[in-house]
Amino acid sequence: MPEDHKQNLKRQRGGAKAAVTRLMTQITTAMNCNQPKEVEMKLAALDEAVVRFSEVHDMYHKTLEDDDDLDASKGYLTSVLRDVQDFQHTALSWLDEFKPSVEDLNVDVPNFQEEISMLSVNQLTTQLQDLNELRQREKEEFSRLISQQEERLRAEFKLQLQHAQCEMDEMKDLLKLKDAEVEESRRKVELELMSKDTSTPVSDSMHLPPVDIIKFDGEPLKYWQFMRLFSSVIDKETVPDQEKLTRLHQYTVGQARDAISHCLYNPNSSQGYAEAMAILKRRFGNPYAISQAWVDKEEFSRLISQQEEHLRAEFKLQLQHAQCEMDEMKDLLKLKDAEVEESRRKVELELMSKDTSTPVSVNQLTTQLQDLNELRQREKEEFSRLISQQEEHLRAEFKLQLQHAQCEMDEMKDLLKLKDAEVEESRRKVELELMSKDTSTPVSDSMHLPPVDIIKFDGEPLKYWQFMRLFSSVIDKETVPDQEKLTRLHQYTVGQARDAISHCLYNPNSSQGYAEAMAILKRRFGNPYAISQAWVDKNKHFSSITAMEDYDDILEYPMKVISLVFYYLTLILCVPENTFVLYVAGFKMKRTINTVGFLSLAIVDLLCCLSTLFYATRSVEDKRWPYGSIMCKILPFIMLITMFASVFTLSLISLDRFTQVITPVWAQKHCSLLIARLSCVAA
């Protein structure tokens, strides 16, 4: 499948996902504005957008071939569909709750404007009393609906919390079972190890808690911690250098592993191990690198603390603003309640103080009815707004509780995975220790080391010595029979390596078959020519900058010594000679064209030689420049100027000798000391 077509399908999938997200945002806005019809229309459009997204995703999914890409594509589709389903459920619940809470309460109020002139004063008074009673009933209805909705939401979220709590309890019980399984596995290991060697007492180190060796990633601040742990557990006299080198490569990652990877291909394990330790100390354990890393860490911590303080102050200010807005809303609600109560009280007083025999003005009663209708409408809107706010508050509160419960469940799942890995590690450790245990010999120090993972050898020459060291340290021992060695060797080889030794399994003599298999592997994949050719082929895939950096790491110390030798030879030989020439040509000899050229050449050579003193000091200081930024710019300029001036001066001297030999008469007439001085200055 062309790569352009795949990228085009991926962009189409992203556009379809963006359309789904845009519709979800529009539905949320409509819900906040209490627009149920708009929400229903957008939900239908959302269904179509989800169908379109699924179709484009299926087309893109069919173009993938790698297993990791297929898993990532499935996870992406599942995540998007789950989010859309949750959002649709929320929107439909909102529609179901919005209709009964708003539409059912819209009680029609009679319009008094058309017949107000026809009514008598008694009828208007009766209607005013009925309107007050209707308003009171609406208040009670609103209060009842609020309480019912709150109870329903609380019951719903309480049920969800109970379900989450049940799952958490199940997780805890499963964790306890895993802990018991791990403890049982550990106890079995101890019993089997103690029962294997009855003649030799178990050393006290067997009862000490295990030491966890950290993996060193090239961070200078962790170098000495890693070295102390490595020395206390592995770097001992009883452990062979071959196993030490294997363990050192196993417990390094990143830059540290890249720096010592080439040491695995050294046939001499002792030299390879010593070289690897020296490289780690020189690159990551020198005091300058450690101090620089500490300074960078402190600077980063300071910046983080400043940013955190700024964020805290900003968040505190936002909380204060939110608190002020809530206080203002509470005061406004109190004012509204007071206003409503004051209007009601005035109407009651006026009705009570009026004499029934005295006619009341129709216009006054009409105005009061209009005011009451407006007040009732405002109260209805206010109650609707309060219902929606309270519902949102309750939903946010219970959603937060569910998120906390989900986080705890995720942590328990991660802990379960760790327990499963620990059980598997214990089982594998039992198998390896029982396989490598010799009943006739005492427990060796290597049994206390962390387990070694044997890689499968696929015929890659660069991995031959690493595989052989791991295989020899775990399986290739005198106590293991040759038949099992041959079986294990066939088990841990794949591809070309397995094909090369498969016929050895049919040899009736297991010892001869195992020896033949080892010889074949060494002859085909372990000879120096094959390893060097594989190394060259591998480096072809790297950039020239990476190759030069690795080459510099290997030759850093020899190049430093050679450069210092040349710098000091230049200072010892060239400075006295050029000083002597400068003294003779400047003070003892007569001024001629030749002496002017020699004097100029001696001056520029002396300056060039003196500038090498600063570069020699830089090499001694491990490429650290101790003279400041100004000298860093001046010294290279002087070095280049004097070097080119020396070459040009030699050219002028050669040109003068040429004219003296070829055209002596013309040279005597036209060449003078002034021209020679100006030429040397120009050079």
Helices (H), 492-627: 495-501, 510-525, 528-539, 544-583, 593-620
3-state secondary structure of 201: coil
Look up the pTM and report it: 0.29
Q: Please give the Cα distance from 193 to 186 (Å, whole number).
A: 11
Place of tokens 């010889």: 519
CA dihedral (144, 145, 148, 150) in degrees, to 10, reads -110
The arithmetic mean of pLDDT across residues 619-643, rounded, is 79
Contact in structure between 443 and 200 (CB atoms under 8 Å):
yes
Q: What is the DSSP string of 55-112?
A: HHHHHHHHT--SHHHHHHHHHHHHHHHHHHHHHHHHHHHHHHHHIIIIITT-------
In this structure, of 74-83, 87-96, 103-112, 396-405, the range with the lowest mean pLDDT score is 103-112
pLDDT reported for residue 105: 42
pLDDT at 116 over 50: no
Residue tagged 């510099």 (tokens): 552
Tell whether the model's pLDDT for residue 53 goes beyond 70. yes
Q: Is 202:443 a contact under the CB 8 Å cutoff?
A: yes
Domain ranges of the chain: 3-103, 220-310, 452-539, 554-682
pLDDT at 606: 87
- The reported pLDDT for the residue numbered 2 is 66
Closest CA to 652 of 603, 605, 600, 609: 600
* Residue range 474-521, pLDDT digits in tens: 776 657 788 888 888 888 898 888 888 888 887 878 888 888 888 998
> How does DSSP classify residue 504?
G
Closest to 210 measured CA to CA, from 225, 232, 193, 191 = 232
Name residue, tokens 């963006």.
Answer: 18
Q: Which residues neighbour 61 within 8 Å (Cβ) at sequence distance 6 or greater?
A: 70, 73, 74, 77
Instruction: For residues 288 and 284, give the distance between their C-alpha atoms in angstroms, rounded to a whole number.
Output: 9
Q: Which residue has the higher pLDDT, 358 or 350?
A: 350
**In the chain, pLDDT over 90 holds for what percent of residues?**
0
Q: Which two tokens stand for residue 122?
A: 């008694």
Predicted local confidence at residue 663, as pLDDT: 83
pLDDT in tens, 186-219: 777 777 766 654 444 333 433 444 556 778 888 8
> What Rg, from alpha-carbon coordinates, does the chain have?
45
- Say if CB 226 and CB 250 are below 8 A apart: no
Residue 282 has pLDDT above 60, yes or no: yes
Token pair belonging to 549: 């950096």
Please determine, for residue 443, whether its predicted confidence score (pLDDT) is greater than 60: no
**Mean pLDDT, all residues of the chain:** 76
Quick one: residue 663, left, alpha or beta (phi over 0 = left, psi -120 to 50 = alpha)? beta
The percentage of the chain sitting over the pLDDT mark of 70, rounded to a whole number, equals 81
DSSP conformation letters of 232-284: HHT-STTS-HHHHHHHHHHTB-HHHHHHHGGGGG-S-HHHHHHHHHHHHHHHH
- The mean pLDDT of 51-56, rounded to a whole number, is 88
Output the DSSP codes for 344-382.
HHHHHHHHHHS-TTSPPPHHHHHHHHHHHHHHHHHHHHH
Sorting pLDDT into bands at 50, 70 and 90, what band is 553?
low
pLDDT at 323 over 50: yes
Domain 554-682 has CATH 1.20.1070.10: yes
Count helices and strands (H / E) in the chain: 20, 0
d(CA 257, CA 347): 89
Label residue 126 by pLDDT band (50, 70, 90): confident
Single-letter code of the amino acid located at 441: T
The alpha helices in 197-240, defined as continuous H runs, are 223-233
Q: Which two tokens stand for residue 342?
A: 């004051």
Q: How confident is the model at residue 114 (pLDDT cuts 50, 70, 90)?
A: very low
Do residues 653 and 597 make contact, with C-beta atoms less than 8 angstroms apart?
Answer: yes
Residue 645 pLDDT: 85
Instruction: Kindly state the average pLDDT of the residues 441-466.
Output: 65
* C-alpha span between 655 and 571 (Å, rounded): 30
- pLDDT higher than threshold 60 for residue 109: no
CA 493-494-500 angle, 5° bins: 80
Q: Which residue has the higher pLDDT, 90 or 341?
A: 90
Residue 526 phi/psi, 5-degree rounding, is -110, 5
**Token pair for 496:** 């070309």
User: Would the pLDDT of 449 be above 70?
Assistant: no
